[in-house]
Amino acid sequence: LFRGSDTHWWKAWHPPDPDSTIPGTARRAGTPSSHTRRQSFTMARERGSLNVMSVPVFLNEAQRGSSGAHLRLAKALWEVCDEEPARAGADLVHAFKLIMTCGERTMYVDRVLRFLATFAAQASDEGRLTFLEQLLQSLASLMHAEDAPARWRACQLAQALLSGLPADAGLSEDVADGLQAALLERAADARPAVRAAAARALARLPDPGEDGDFAACPITATLIRLASHDASREVRRGALASLPPCVLAARAVLERSLDPDDDVRRVAYLTAAHGAGPRDLAPAQRALLIRRGLRDRCPAVAAAALRLVQAWLAGCDGDPLSLLSLLDAHGRDAGELALRALLDAGTLNPVRLMAAWAEAGVTPRCVTSESGAKDAAAGQAEEGDQLHVADVGADLALAWCVVAQAAQERAHAAGRSAASAAGATADIEAAAASAALEALDAFLPSSWEEAAATHSAVKGEQPEAADHLLLMFATCLDTGDAAARRTASDLVLRELVGEGDELAAEPRGLAAPIREVAARALARLLRVASPASGQLAQVAVERLCERCEAGETSSAFASPRLLSALALALQALPPRGVSSLLDRVWGTVLSRRMPRQAPETGHAGWGPAGLAAGGAGLLAASPAAPRGVVAAVVPRLARLLAQGVEDGEADAWTAAGTAAQALGDIAARHGVARVDEWLAGEDSRPCVPTMLCALGAWRHDLLAGGEEGPERSRARDEAGAALAAALGRLMVLGQLSPGRAVPESEALEALISLLGLAFDPTTEAAPQFRQTLTVALETLASLSLQAQSLLASALLPAARRHPRQTTAPVRHVHSSTNTGRRQRMQPAAAQLRPRRPRPPWSCALWRSCCTPRCGPQTRLTPASRASAPPPATRAWPWCSCVSWRRGGRAGRPRPRRAPTPRPSPAC
C-alpha cells in the first residue's frame, strides 16, 4: 500500500483497462511526468468513463501531486461525488479502510490526508456538507476497531476532514454528538499516538456554551487534562494545539510554559499567539509568560514567544505603550524583554519611534515642571512641545529608555560596519548611523545639567519613571568633558547613597536608596565614561564608605545594601586601586554587617545577612581581592548556608541561595582545594560536602511539603537552583582545568546526588532547579569521554539511592487497557520484591540443554542429548524457560514452551 510506484492498491479494486491512457493502468518502465499525467487525466475526463473517473484514481494522483494539484483534483472529485454520491461515498469509505491498514508513517498517506483536507475545504453548499457528515459518521464507527493502527488512522482521517471544513460550516447535532463521543473515547486510548490524533481531531468540536467561556464543555476539560497530565509529549502537543481560546486554555498554556519538552513549550506559546488573548490572563501572569518564553534556553521556544509578543502588539494596533500597559506594574523586566525582542527582530524601528515621539512632543527634552515653565537649560522648546511631569508614567519612561538604548546600539553597529566596508555598503551604513545619531540628538536632553533637572522634576511625582530616565541618561548621554562627568557622578551617587531616613528603608520598597536600577546606572556609567571610570569608581567607594562609617547607617539594611554598589564600583577599578580599597571596605562595612553566626530562627536579620552574603561574594570573587579577606569570608558563607537551609523560612532560603552562589563563585575563582583549606582552619566541612549536605536538607524540605506560601516556595526553588548551578559549575571547571578539579570521591558523590535528583519526581515542584540541573548535566556530558564515564559510574548508585515512592497513589492508567480505568499502583515494596533465584548460567543456554550438570560452556548436540541420561531430580525447578515433564520419547524429560499469550476479550 502507498508505495508510490505504478502498482497501487486501487488496481485490485478496479481491474486495468488496456485501452485506458490513465497513468498506472498500462505496464511501462518509469513514472510519467506531471504533464503526461495531466494530459491523460484530462482526456479520460472528457471521455466521461466512470470506471476511470473513480475515487481510487483521484487518491493515487493525490499521492503523487503537490498542494496545487490537490486543489484541481479536489474540484474534480467533488464533480464525481455530486453526480453519484452513493457510489462515491462507498468508495471513499472503502478507501478509508484500506488507509487504516497502513500502520507506518509514510509521505504517501500524509499526502492523501492533506488532499482530504483540501477536499473538505471545497464543501460550499448543504449537499456537500451532508456528504461529509456521512463520511464522518462512518469514521466514528471505524474508531472502535480492535487494531491500534486502525484507530489511529481513523482519528487522523477525521481530523483531516474536520480541519479542512470552512470556518462558517457547521455539523448537525447528531453527527457532532456521535463524533464527539467516539473521539473522547479515543482520547483515553492505551496508545499515545491514538490519543494524540484524537486530541487534534477534537479541535473543531468544543462548545462554548451559553456564557461563551467553555466552562461546561467536556471536550475542553479533556484537552486540558491531556495537556497537563499525559505522559506522552506528542499527546500534550496535540492537546495544546487543539485548545479553544478561553481563560481555562490560557491557564493551561501558562502551566505548560515550564514543560520539560522543548516542542511542548513551543506549541504552548504558538497556541497562546493564535488563540487566547492577553485579557484572559492577569497582568502578573502575562509578565510571567513573556519572561519565561523570551528567556528560554531553546531558540525555537524563544522564537515562539516572540510571535506571541508580536501578536499582542498587533492587538494593540502596533502601539508599544499599550503593550506595556498590559503588563502593568508587575512586568517591568518583562516589558523591557518584550521591547528588546521586538526591536531586535525588526518589528519596531527605534529611529522611527523616536521621530514620531519628537513630532508629537513626547520626549524627555519636552518635560516641564508643575508650573508649566521649562526646567533648567530647556528654554528653547516652544510652548506646544511641552510635556507635563504628571504625564510621564513608568511605561512611557521604560519605552524611552529601551528605544534610546536600541538606537544608540544601532548607531554604533552601523558606524563599525561603515568603517570596515567600502563602496555603496559603507555609504548605506554611514547614513544609517547618522540617522540614528540625529534622532538621539533631537530626542534626549542637550546636556547632563538638563538631564539632572528633568530627573529631579520627574522623581518628585513618578519615582519609578525617574529610575528609567536615570538608566537612559547614564547610557546614552555623552560624558566626554569633565563637567558632564562631575554632574553624572553626583546624580548617580546621590541616588545610590540616599539622604536622611531613606537609608533605613526596606530593600523591597520604592524608597530604597540602593535600587537595582541605580546600581545598573552606575555600572553603565562606569563603562561609557572610560577616561574617568577609575576616578569615578574611587570616588563612589570613598563616599559609600563614609556613609557607612557615619552615624546615619543605624538600620540593619543600610550597610549590606551598599555592598552591591561597592562591588560594581570596584569592578571598574584597576587591580592596584582595588587592592588599596578592599581593606577599607572590609573594615568599615563587611566585618561589621556580615555576622559571624547566622541569625536565630525567625529573626529579622536574615534579610541583611543575605544582602551581606551577596556583596561579600562579589568582593571576594574579585581577582585582586586579598587572601586574608577571602579567608575570612568563606567560613561565614558556609555557616550562613548551613543554618539558612536548616531554618527554612523564606528570607532564610534567600540568604542560603545567595551564600551558595557566593561560595561557588569563590571556589571557581580560587580552586576547591584552597577553599577547603580556609574551611579547615575554622573546623568546618569541605566545600563540596557542605553544598551536598545543604542539598540533602533542601530535598528533605521539599518532600515534607505541607502548607507554604508562594514566596517561600519560590525562595526555596531559587536556593536549590543556586546549589545545583554551583555544583555543576565546579564539575565542569574540574574537567576543563585539572588544577582546580574537585577530588574524585567528592565529584562522584556530587554526581550521584545530582543524578538522583534529576530523576526524582518530587523535584517537579521546583521547575527552576530542574532546568538548572538539566543544563548543568548536559554541559558536563558534552565535554569529554572522561566526563561521560564519570556520569555513567554515578548512574547506578543514584538509582539505588533514590528508590521509588513508597505510597500507593491512585492515578489514571493508559498502559493496560483501551478504556482508562482508575487503578491503584502497587507500593514500592511489592515492585522491588526480590525474585526467585535463577540458574547461574543464562536462560538461553539452559533452554538448549536440559541436563543440570551442563554449564554455560557446554552445549549438547541433538545426538548427544538423546544419549544423555535423564536427571534424577529437578535441579532447577524454578527455571522460567523450561517446564519439565516426564515421559515422551526415550523416557527423558523434554522442555515445553509456554503458550503464546493471547489478547483478552476486553482488548
pLDDT one-digit tens code per residue, 641-696: 888 888 777 778 887 888 888 888 888 888 888 888 888 876 678 888 888 888 88
Report yes or no: 666 and 675 within 8 Å, Cβ to Cβ.
yes
Strands annotated E in 724-842: 810-812, 822-824
Residue at 439 is within a domain = no
Percent of the chain with pLDDT over 90: 22
Per-residue pLDDT, averaged over 565-572, amounts to 57
Cα–Cα distance, 217 to 223 (Å, whole number): 10
423 pLDDT above the threshold of 80: yes
Instruction: Report the amino acid identity of residue 745.
Output: S
Cα–Cα distance, 619 to 616 (Å, whole number): 5
Cα–Cα distance, 869 to 560 (Å, whole number): 88
Q: How confident is the model at residue 614 (pLDDT cuts 50, 70, 90)?
A: low
Cα–Cα distance, 428 to 425 (Å, whole number): 5
Q: What is the pLDDT of residue 815?
A: 36
Q: What is the pLDDT of residue 728?
A: 87
Highest averaged pLDDT of the listed ranges 359-373, 531-545, 773-787: 773-787
Which H/E stretch holds residue 230? none
Q: How confident is the model at residue 371 (pLDDT cuts 50, 70, 90)?
A: very low
Report yes or no: 740 and 729 within 8 Å, Cβ to Cβ.
no
pLDDT digits (tens, 9 = 90+) for 454-471: 888 888 888 788 888 888
pLDDT digits (tens, 9 = 90+) for 386-404: 677 778 888 888 899 999 9
554 pLDDT above the threshold of 60: no
Which of 64, 43, 65 lies closest to 53 in space, CA to CA? Answer: 43
User: Count of CB atoms within 10 A of residue 657's CB?
Assistant: 29
pLDDT digits (tens, 9 = 90+) for 308-338: 999 999 989 889 999 988 887 555 788 889 9
Residue at 686 is within a domain = yes
786 pLDDT above the threshold of 80: yes
Q: What is the pLDDT of residue 86?
A: 92
pLDDT digits (tens, 9 = 90+) for 74-129: 999 999 999 889 999 999 999 999 999 998 888 999 999 999 999 999 988 888 99
pLDDT digits (tens, 9 = 90+) for 702-711: 887 655 677 7
Residue at 602 is within a domain = yes
Per-residue pLDDT, averaged over 734-742, amounts to 70
Cα–Cα distance, 674 to 739 (Å, whole number): 11
Whole-structure pTM value: 0.67
Report yes or no: 192 and 234 within 8 Å, Cβ to Cβ.
yes
Residue at 820 is within a domain = no
Domain count, the chain: 1
Sign of CA dihedral 163, 166, 167, 173: negative
Cα–Cα distance, 128 to 150 (Å, whole number): 26
Residue at 564 is within a domain = no
- Three-state SS for 470? helix
Boundaries of domain holding 683? 594-801
**In this predicted model, which residue has the larger pLDDT, 554 or 521?**
521
Strand partners, 824: 810
Total residue length of the chain? 907
Report yes or no: 382 and 361 within 8 Å, Cβ to Cβ.
no
- Three-state SS for 883? strand
pLDDT digits (tens, 9 = 90+) for 126-135: 889 999 999 9
Residue at 708 is within a domain = yes
Cα–Cα distance, 195 to 88 (Å, whole number): 30
Q: What is the DSSP letter of 590?
A: I
Q: What is the pLDDT of residue 55?
A: 87
Q: What is the pLDDT of residue 373?
A: 38
pLDDT digits (tens, 9 = 90+) for 859-889: 444 444 444 444 443 333 333 333 333 334 4
Cα–Cα distance, 218 to 224 (Å, whole number): 10
155 pLDDT above the threshold of 70: yes
Average pLDDT, the chain: 73
Report yes or no: 777 and 754 within 8 Å, Cβ to Cβ.
yes
Q: How far is CA 250 from CA 254, 269, 711, in A?
A: 6, 10, 23
Q: What is the pLDDT of residue 555?
A: 44
Report yes or no: 170 and 130 within 8 Å, Cβ to Cβ.
no
Q: What is the pLDDT of residue 484?
A: 79
Residue at 780 is within a domain = yes
Residue at 701 is within a domain = yes
Q: How confident is the model at residue 813 (pLDDT cuts 50, 70, 90)?
A: very low
Per-residue pLDDT, averaged over 532-538, amounts to 56
Percent of the chain with pLDDT over 70: 64
3-state secondary structure 19-85: CCCCCCCCCCCCCCCHHHHHHHHHHHHHHCCCCCCCHHHHHHHHHHCCHHHHHHHHHHHHHHHHHCH
- DSSP letters for 340-406: HHHHHHTSS-HHHHHHHHHHHT-SGGGEE-TTS-B-TT-TTS-GGG-EEGGG--HHHHHHHHHHHHH
